Amino acid sequence: MRGYAYFTLPPAHKVTPTARKRLEVIHRLDSLGAGFSLASHDMDIRGAGNLLGGEQSGHIREVGIELYQHMLEEAVTQARAQADGSSDEPTAEWSPQISLGTAVLIPESYVEDLDVRLVLYRRVSRLEDAAEIANFVDELADRFGPVPEEVRYLLDIVAIKRLCRTAGVARIDAGPKGAVLTFRADTTVNPEQLITHIANPSHGLRLRPDNKLVVTRNWPVAEQRLEGVQRVLSTLGGMAA
C-alpha cells in the first residue's frame, strides 16, 4: 500500500532555509526503507548532542552523523559485552571523551552537498594515523580548496583520540588555563615514569587524589589547546608499556 503526505503552508508564509533543506531531503529519499537515511539527514541538519564532550547538549553538526553512528556502534558493542557477562570494554572499541571548546565540523559553506559531507564524516571517523590524516587534508584541499580551521580542528580531535587510546586516557577537558586528563583504570602508562615527570615543576603537572592529571597552561585560543593537548598526550604515550 502506498502512502501519501501533503504539506501545506499559510498564505504568504515563507519557508525557512532549514525547512527547505528538510523538504529537499524528503523529495530525494522516496524509496522503500529510506527512513533511516532520512533520519540521518535530519540529524545532520538540526543537531543532536555534543558527542566529543560529556554533556550531550551541543550539536551533532560539531562532529557529523557518521561519527555519531560510529560512537553508537561502540556503545552497543560495550552493552552486548556486559550482557554476556563481561565487564571489560573491548580495547579497540572504547572512545575517549574530549571537550576542548572548539568548533569541529565540515562547514556547509566548504562542502555544500549534504551527501558528500556525510561520506567525508564517515572517512574521518576511520582515519588511523598521522599519514592518513595528512593525505586526507591534501585531498580536501584539492577537491574543495583551502581547508578551514573547523575541519583542521576536527582532524586534530581525531589525532587526539588516537593518542588517548595509546596513553589510556578516558577523558580530556581543556580550557584557557590548561586541562584535566582522566585515566582509564587499565591505562598502561608507567606510574614511576609519570611520577618522575610530574615532579619536575617546569612541566606544570599535578596528580589529584582522584588520579586525574591537571595540566596548568596558558591556552587562550583553541589552536593552542589542541596543540598543547597533543604534546601532553604524546609524552604520556611514550610512557605506555
Query: Which fold is adopted by the domain 52-237?
Result: Aspartate Aminotransferase, domain 1 (3.90.1150)
How many CB atoms are closer than 10 A to CB 181?
24
**144 Cβ neighbours under 8 A, 6+ residues apart:** 110, 111
| Ranges of CATH 3.90.1150.50 domains, the chain | 52-237
Give the H/E segment covering residue 219: none
Strands (E), the chain: 97-99, 169-175, 178-183, 205-207, 212-216
Q: Is the pTM of this model over 0.85?
A: no
* Unique residue bearing C-alpha cell 557477562: 85
Question: Which segments in the chain show pLDDT lower than 70?
Answer: 1-2, 27-82, 84-93
- Predicted local confidence at residue 77, as pLDDT: 66
What per-residue confidence (pLDDT) applies to 193? Answer: 94
